[in-house]
Amino acid sequence: MTRALVRSAVLAAALLGCARAGGRAQAPARTELPPRAHRAFHHPGLLSNASELEALRRRVAAGQDRAFEAMKQSPFASLDWRPAPRRTVFCGPYSRPDVGCREEKNDATAAYTHALLWAATGNEAHARKAAEILDAWSSTLAEHTGHNAPLQSAWVASLIVRAAELIRHTSPVWPAEGVARFSRLLENAYLPYVVGGMPDYNGNWELSMIEATMAAGVFLDDGALFDRAVAMWRKRVPAYFYLRADGTRPVAPPGTHRYDEQGALVEKWYGQSRFVDGLCQETCRDFGHTMYGLAAAVNAAEIAFHQSVDLYAEEARRLTAALEFHAAYLLGQPAPPWLCGGRLNLRRSPTGEIAYHHFHDRRGVELPLTARLIEQRRPSGTDHHMAWESFTHGGLE
């Protein structure tokens, strides 16, 4: 199926009860991709560029790298890993039911892990394992369905494209036909679920979709996809993280009209009516989903930075405020009564290194709370689209 055959249609999301009853759920909404616009991007050019990969190789060669050892000892790094592709991946709300969702995410994580191991050590067996996983899914997967199909597509595409970018541009093991088949996979089984965004949903969804679209744009050398993701990022990030400069109310998500009234806006922010610098739309939901959104926003900014677009600079105050605000409570600061009713649903996530590397190491911005939090949880592991950040960005020059 070619890009021209992808239909632009709005179809009903899958019903959980239908899935449990064994019925076939309807497909989620698919969006026609913009006309392709070829552009020459820097490669490898997602979360790690050539000079950063060389720094990782030097660090690994010197030995005593805890982050590398943690990654190498994980199940995802095993050369015995066997991919488990499916033609249809069905993901209900919170991946219930889960028909291939966990397997797909795990295989994407394994592919990225092996790609990093190849890049860091030069052991071609890891490059071949990454290519094996990429080929298994590109020759099998046809669709995502269920309520969480757009989010599943975003999380997995963000990870698996990182693996594909590294293997394609740093190793000789992946033939042209494999690259072409994987490109078709992105266009047919991932991008139609993410390029349209979902402004009415919680912000972590759309930010993850933006990251996936941007990563795919770079891999495909498609300027239209990349530009679309950049434009979406510029609108969605201000609607997800609050600054007092926004006024007395947060920015409404782009393309929505339901939050003109204060009550509707407070409901969208999980009952929070007092807004302070760094507060996130999902802070009062839980910190787990908040970190999904923060990680996606930062990952997209890192990709853009490697392509000479400095989104970080455009929203430096907003992103650094969000990092420090949430780090304070993750470090143990009690929640005041006005914040989420004085009760926070805390969960630490393996993210923060990429943002800290940019703002502190590249730009000299002091982020003391973020620094303390990162040091406590090093070396970081994996969680959805967050993977091995201590290894890829911790301690980079």
Please give the span between the terminal C-alpha atoms of the chain, in angstroms, as a whole number. 44
Q: Which of 29-33, 47-51, 182-186 has the lowest mean pLDDT?
A: 29-33
98 close to 92: Cβ distance less than 8 angstroms: yes
Mean pLDDT for 195-221 is 97
Q: Mean pLDDT in the chain?
A: 92
Mean pLDDT for 325-335 is 98
**Tokens encoding 8:** 């632009």
Mean pLDDT for 334-345 is 98
Give the class (CATH, top level) of 39-393: mainly alpha
Of 208, 135, 130, give the one whose Cα is nearest residue 169. 130
What percent of the chain is predicted at pLDDT more than 90? 87
Mean pLDDT for 221-234 is 98
The confidence score (pLDDT) of residue 20 equals 34
- pLDDT reading at 118 higher than 90: yes
Mean pLDDT for 254-269 is 78
What is the 3-state secondary structure of the chain?
A: CCHHHCCCECCCCCCHHHHHCCCCCCCCCECCCCCCCECCCCCCCCCCCHHHHHHHHHHHHHCCCHHHHHHHCCHHHCCCCCCCCCCEEEECHHHCCEECHHHHHHHHHHHHHHHHHHHHHCCHHHHHHHHHHHHHHHCCCCEEECCCHHHHHHHHHHHHHHHHHHHHHHCCCCCHHHHHHHHHHHHHHHHHHHCCCCCCCCHHHHHHHHHHHHHHHHHCCEHHHHHHHHHHHHHHHHHHECCHHHCCCCCCCCCCCCCCCHHHHHHHCCCCCCCCCCCECCCCCCHHHHHHHHHHHHHHHHHHHHCCCCHHHHCHHHHHHHHHHHHHHHCCCCCCCCCHHHCCCCCCCCCCHHHHHHHHHHCCCCCHHHHHHHHHHCCCCEECCEECHHHHHCCCC
pLDDT one-digit tens code per residue, 71-82: 999 999 999 999
- pLDDT reading at 17 higher than 60: no
Q: How confident is the model at residue 27 (pLDDT cuts 50, 70, 90)?
A: low
**Tokens encoding 48:** 């790690």
Predicted TM-score (pTM) of this structure: 0.93
The confidence score (pLDDT) of residue 385 equals 98
Q: Report the alpha-carbon distance of residue 60 to residue 120 in Å, rounded.
A: 7
The confidence score (pLDDT) of residue 100 equals 97
The confidence score (pLDDT) of residue 14 equals 34
pLDDT one-digit tens code per residue, 155-183: 999 999 999 999 999 999 999 999 999 99
The confidence score (pLDDT) of residue 265 equals 86
